[in-house]
């Protein structure tokens, strides 16, 4: 039997997100975690049967339901129920209008956590009675259920009849607080009851609605599938016909097998005499947006300015949601932050003090979804510091020397140290500074080898921080390698020996007063390297005619360096003259330094 209806009202279709006004203090989960429950069972030819499916997770509540079948037979809804709340379910009673074939029915229910909604809900119920039988336009029940105000959101309705009837089509109105329902009855006075559960509108994310327009000519159409845009999740759907009361004088449409499958809603529809039927899917964003922030000192870290850029992506961009940005600048090192402000990429900040500065960008879609991204920029306009701590001795008896330092940087870290040296011979002429040798920022020392006897070496170090700031060169620290006794001119009263542990493995000794060791040089400091012993003698050191000092070699047995007082730099003949007689004078080396 072909069953006619009349359409309750025209349905205006949306291809953009509904505007979601929010109330102060409202809490909303903008991306819903949707789980699907399914149940299947057979239905015999020409039979009527009730099917039910519950949410698969205990703390979830149904928000929509639907059904499909294995063979796609003409299975019409005699009633439909969505029980909201924990332990809720979707239930439908189906009439198999095909008296010659059976089918297998699969129910689908979509559920979300009950925690998404407050305990505040309302139930709205309306009843409508058909006027008669025989003339298809009179075999109708059409109406709906509406929440008390627009501050409520109507979930999928429950529809029942007090005598055999058929639920033909149902669809949400553009005013989110109501559903329109179309039904059919065979006898006059059959009452159709429509009930909707209303949840606070402020607790529902803004959904996107789109529809497929299907032109029919009085026959069953092939199943129509409407898909959500990429990045969005289907949470329900509906089918309604166009026209206010009739389609070209005929009596409407019948919709069956409506259900959500994956990211789509599908249904099959028949009209009695042509016209258009809209199959609509309702979609929610499947994920929050993302934002990536990048920052850098501008034009460099020593400028006191920062430059940030960012880009945001909305996976639900097919829903045409708009995005806005709010920025917060935090001066991490100083422990202060600025008030949030509306911003667009890029963003520049100037006059920043040294330290870490963090930009946090919050992207908010116009349906309330959010994401944040941060980027730190280090401003470092201050050079690091470094000081030499070695060498500490004016003279060294080895062919190598270790240079030591201590450095730090107030803002970032020392990235590297550079150490250079120059040297001077006995004529007092300095070489140019050599090419600096680089050490890691964690290093505290560097050893230089290949030092030559008779030369004065001066070392200086500078530090480079992680942002390229360079310290001044340190005040040089100097050390000199002595001349070996073999390098000195000597009078005939000296005896040469070769003690292996002495400087260069040689020594010169005498017990005769007036014996000399001499060398011409430009110098500022003189040191005598000689043996000390209880019975050792005494020498004087002169530069030209000037006595620089007298060295008493008596004392505990040891080889030691005797440093003489410094003087202004002079050029002349340095003479070591024996003052004692009959006492041992044993000389290892003579140190001359121009610093």
273-287 residue pLDDT tens? 667 778 889 999 999
Residue 8 has pLDDT above 50, yes or no: no
Alpha carbon separation from 157 to 66, 355, 416, 511 (Å, rounded) = 12, 60, 73, 124
Check residues 399 and 122 and name the one with the higher pLDDT: 399
Per-residue confidence (pLDDT) for residue 26, from 0 to 100: 42
Q: Which neighbouring-strand residues pair with 188? A: none
Confidence of residue 267 (pLDDT cuts 50, 70, 90): very high
363: exposed, middle or buried (C-beta count within 10 Å: 0-12, 13-18, 19+)? buried
Bridge partners of 373?
A: 361
Digit-coded pLDDT (tens) for 413-435: 999 999 999 999 999 999 999 99
Task: Kindly report, residue by residue over 289-315, the tens digit of the pLDDT.
Answer: 999 999 999 888 778 999 999 999 999
Q: What value does the mean pLDDT take over residues 427-449?
A: 97
Q: Report the pLDDT value the prediction gives residue 141, as an integer from 0 to 100.
A: 66
Of 59-68, 315-324, 417-426, the poorest mean pLDDT is in 315-324
Q: How far apart, in whole angstroms, are the C-alpha atoms of residue 289 and residue 130?
A: 49
Cβ neighbours of residue 203 closer than 8 Å, sequence gap 6 or more: 26, 27, 28, 29, 116, 117, 118, 153
pLDDT tens-digit map of 554-578:
999 999 999 999 999 999 999 999 9
- pLDDT for 9: 26
pLDDT over threshold 60, residue 195: yes
**pTM, 2 dp:** 0.72
């Amino acid at each position: 039997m072909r069953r006619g209806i009349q359409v309750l009202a025209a349905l205006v279709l949306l291809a953009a997100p509904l505007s979601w006004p929010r109330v102060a203090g409202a809490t909303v989960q903008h991306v819903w975690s949707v789980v699907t429950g399914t149940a299947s069972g057979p239905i015999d030819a020409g039979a009527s049967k009730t099917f039910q499916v519950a949410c698969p997770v205990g703390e979830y509540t149904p928000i929509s339901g639907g059904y499909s079948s294995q063979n796609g037979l003409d299975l019409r809804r005699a009633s439909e129920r969505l029980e909201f709340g924990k332990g809720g379910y979707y239930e439908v009673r189906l009439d198999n209008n095909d008296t010659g074939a059976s089918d297998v029915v699969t129910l689908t229910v979509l559920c979300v956590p009950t925690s998404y909604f407050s305990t505040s809900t309302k139930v709205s119920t309306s009843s409508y009675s058909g006027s008669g039988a025989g003339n298809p336009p009179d075999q109708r029940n059409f109406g709906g259920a509406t929440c008390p105000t627009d501050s409520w959101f109507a979930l999928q309705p429950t529809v029942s009849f007090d005598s055999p009837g058929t639920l033909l089509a149902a669809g949400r109105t553009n005013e989110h607080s109501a559903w329109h329902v179309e039904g059919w009855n065979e006898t006059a006075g059959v009452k159709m009851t429509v009930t909707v559960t209303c949840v606070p509108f402020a607790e529902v994310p803004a959904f996107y609605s789109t529809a497929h327009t299907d032109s029919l000519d009085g026959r069953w159409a092939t199943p129509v599938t409407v898909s959500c845009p990429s990045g969005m999740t289907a949470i329900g759907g509906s089918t309604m016909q166009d026209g206010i009361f009739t389609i070209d004088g005929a009596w409407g449409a019948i919709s069956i097998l409506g259900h959500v499958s994956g990211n789509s809603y599908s249904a099959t529809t028949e009209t009695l005499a042509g016209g258009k039927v809209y199959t609509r899917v309702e979609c929610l964003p499947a994920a929050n947006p993302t934002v990536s922030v990048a920052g850098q000192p501008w034009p460099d870290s020593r400028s006191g300015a920062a430059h940030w850029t960012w880009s945001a992506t909305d996976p639900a961009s097919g829903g045409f949601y708009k995005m806005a940005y709010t920025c917060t600048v935090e001066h991490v090192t100083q422990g202060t932050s600025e008030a949030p402000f509306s911003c667009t990429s890029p963003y520049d900040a100037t006059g920043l003090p040294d330290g870490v500065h963090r930009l946090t960008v919050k992207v908010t879609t116009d349906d309330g979804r959010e994401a944040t991204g941060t980027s730190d920029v280090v401003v470092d306009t201050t050079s690091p510091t470094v000081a030499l701590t070695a060498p500490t001795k004016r003279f060294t008896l080895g062919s190598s020397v270790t240079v030591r330092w201590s450095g730090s940087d107030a803002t970032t870290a020392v990235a590297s140290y550079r150490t250079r040296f120059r040297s001077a011979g006995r004529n007092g002429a300095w070489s140019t500074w050599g090419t600096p040798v680089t050490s890691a920022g964690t290093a505290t020392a560097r050893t230089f080898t290949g030092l030559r006897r008779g030369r004065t070496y001066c070392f200086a170090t500078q530090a480079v921080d992680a942002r390229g700031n360079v310290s001044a060169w340190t005040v040089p620290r100097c050390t000199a390698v002595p001349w070996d006794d073999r390098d000195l001119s000597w009078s005939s009263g000296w005896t040469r020996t070769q003690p292996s542990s002495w400087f260069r493995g040689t020594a010169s000794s005498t017990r005769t007063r007036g014996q000399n060791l001499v060398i011409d040089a430009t110098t500022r400091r003189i040191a005598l390297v000689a043996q000390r012993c209880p019975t050792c003698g005494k020498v004087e050191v002169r530069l030209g005619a000037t006595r620089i000092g007298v060295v008493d070699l008596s004392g505990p047995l040891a080889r030691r360096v005797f440093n003489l007082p410094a003087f202004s730099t002079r050029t002349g003949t340095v003479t070591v003259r024996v003052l004692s007689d009959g006492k041992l004078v044993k000389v290892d080396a003579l140190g001359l330094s121009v610093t």
